Amino acid sequence: MKTIKTIVLSSLIALSMGAFSTVALAEASDGRISYAPADAIDAVIGKIKEAQAAIDAGKSGDEVYAIIKQGTDLSKEVNANDVVDRARSKANDILKKARTAAKAGDLKTAAEFLPPAEKAFADLKPLI
């Protein structure tokens, strides 16, 4: 009887975990926009170009920082596989250096980091 009780309890726990799995119910909520990896890469590259244009237009460091921050936030949507994620992480590190420089008001240094970041994100497309 004790063995049957253990088996039934274990089965009920396993069934309840499978029936109410958050992964099974996961989908984009109404307030969240989901991007395909290629679209997210294009969006990040667009933000990098927007930041370059803002630097060329003489915008303040805070405005350039905000644009680059939007790009780093969008880069989190690039999630195709482990290889892409590692390459995205390296590209994101370059973009973070530009963001840090822009936050400090050093737009010249930020402008130096943006082209390599753009190339690194463009190099992600063949990996998808």
CATH number at residue 69: 1.20.120
Q: How many domains does the chain have?
A: 1
Higher pLDDT, 16 or 83: 83
Region for residue 105 given its phi and psi (left: phi exceeds 0; alpha: psi -120 to 50; beta: otherwise): left
Q: Is 70 inside a domain boundary?
A: yes
Q: Model-level pTM greater than 0.85?
A: no
Q: Is 27 inside a domain boundary?
A: no
Question: Residue 26: what pLDDT?
Answer: 56
Q: In this model, does residue 18 exceed pLDDT 60?
A: yes
Q: Is 16 inside a domain boundary?
A: no
Find the angle CA(62)-CA(66)-CA(68) to the nearest 5 degrees: 115
- Rounded distance between C-alpha atoms, residue 97 and residue 117, angstroms: 10
Q: Is 18 inside a domain boundary?
A: no
Q: Is 88 inside a domain boundary?
A: yes
Q: Is 2 inside a domain boundary?
A: no
Q: Is 28 inside a domain boundary?
A: no
The mean predicted confidence, pLDDT, of the chain is 87
pLDDT in tens, 32-68: 667 788 889 999 999 999 999 999 999 999 999 999 9
Q: Is 8 inside a domain boundary?
A: no
Characterize 13-43 residue by residue with b for buried, 16 or more Cβ atoms within 10 angstroms of its Cβ, and e for exposed: eeeeeeeeeeeeeeeeeeeeeebebeebbbb
Q: Which domain holds residue 121?
A: 34-127
